[in-house]
Amino acid sequence: DTEVTQTPKHLVMGMTNKKSLKCEQHMGHRAMYWYKQKAKKPPELMFVYSYEKLSINESVPSRFSPECPNSSLLNLHLHALQPEDSALYLCASRKGGRGNGELFFGEGSRLTVL
Amino acid sequence: GQNIDQPTEMTATEGAIVQINCTYQTSGFNGLFWYQQHAGEAPTFLSYNVLDGLEEKGRFSSFLSRSKGYSYLLLKELQMKDSASYLCAVMDSNYQLIWGAGTKLIIKP
């Protein structure tokens, strides 16, 4: 199993809604990432979890709240988002440790905030 | 600072060969990646170079020179489906990916 699975693939929400994006991998990877990508731009790093602990938060607004319930799952809780938060949200995982660099990406969750 | 440069857009003809260059300056180096991304889709891994030299994988090859801070992605026998953005990314000393802005490749019949 070399997949990173993200759900939902598409999400439309209002500015007052609370929703969550989910990410799952069963490759035994110990580093998991959330990226945000706007059209025609490279992915922007949001959060990194390493061994289930939040290791990097790239000054992301508190309306985005990550959660890592276990080594296979990564969630991104969304609350009171703004229309400019509409983007493709990508989850990725990496084996972790030195020399294990390849990032495996999920197919992304396309978020539209109305 | 950290910087990755690659051309914004390139055009090539179906069946031909194209080379996409990438130069980088980063704090530390733990490998260079090339990803392909079609519009609206997630990036797809193409190649990973951590040692100098050429890595070949089918129609795609990637080259790295660490001393020059330089890499290229070579695509042979171009097909229409190769029209996409190609992203160069370097993993720095903290194992974080530093991304180039991407090269949009347009293939013409």
With beta carbons under 8 A apart, name residues in chain B contacting A94: 95
Closest CA to B97 of B6, B32, B46, B8: B32
For residue A57, name the pLDDT band (cuts at 50, 70, 90).
confident
Question: What pLDDT does residue A90 have?
Answer: 96
Chain B: residues touching A (Cβ < 8 Å): 30-31, 33, 35, 40-45, 48, 50, 85, 87, 89, 91, 95-97, 99-102
Task: Please compute, for residue A59, the number of CA atoms within 13 A of its CA located in the half-sphere on the CB side.
Answer: 0
Question: What pLDDT does residue A59 have?
Answer: 87
Question: What pLDDT does residue B20 have?
Answer: 98
Q: How far is B31 from chain A (nearest CA, A)?
A: 7
What's the pLDDT tens digit per position in A23-53?
Answer: 999 999 999 999 999 998 999 999 999 999 9
CA distance A6 to A74: 9
State the residue for tokens 């396309």.
A110
In the predicted model, is pLDDT for residue A1 greater than 70? Answer: no
Q: How far is B76 from chain A (nearest CA, A)?
A: 24
Interface test with A, best of B95, B103, B106 (most A CBs within 10 A): B95
First to last CA, chain A: 36
Cα A105 from chain centroid (whole Å): 10
Q: How many CB pairs under 8 A join A and B?
A: 51
Nearest CA in chain B to A99: B30
In the predicted model, is pLDDT for residue A103 greater than 90? Answer: no
What's the pLDDT tens digit per position in A64-73?
Answer: 999 999 999 9
In the predicted model, is pLDDT for residue A95 greater than 90? Answer: no
What's the pLDDT tens digit per position in B45-67?
Answer: 899 999 999 999 999 999 999 99
Interface test with A, best of B97, B98, B106 (most A CBs within 10 A): B97
Using the beta-carbon criterion (under 8 Å), do A42 and B89 form an inter-chain contact?
yes
With beta carbons under 8 A apart, name residues in chain B contacting A56: 96
**A45 bridge partner residues:** A35
In the predicted model, is pLDDT for residue B108 greater than 80? Answer: yes
Mean pLDDT, chain A, rounded, equals: 92
In the predicted model, is pLDDT for residue B71 greater than 70? Answer: yes
What phi, psi does B103 have (nearest 5°)?
Answer: -115, 120
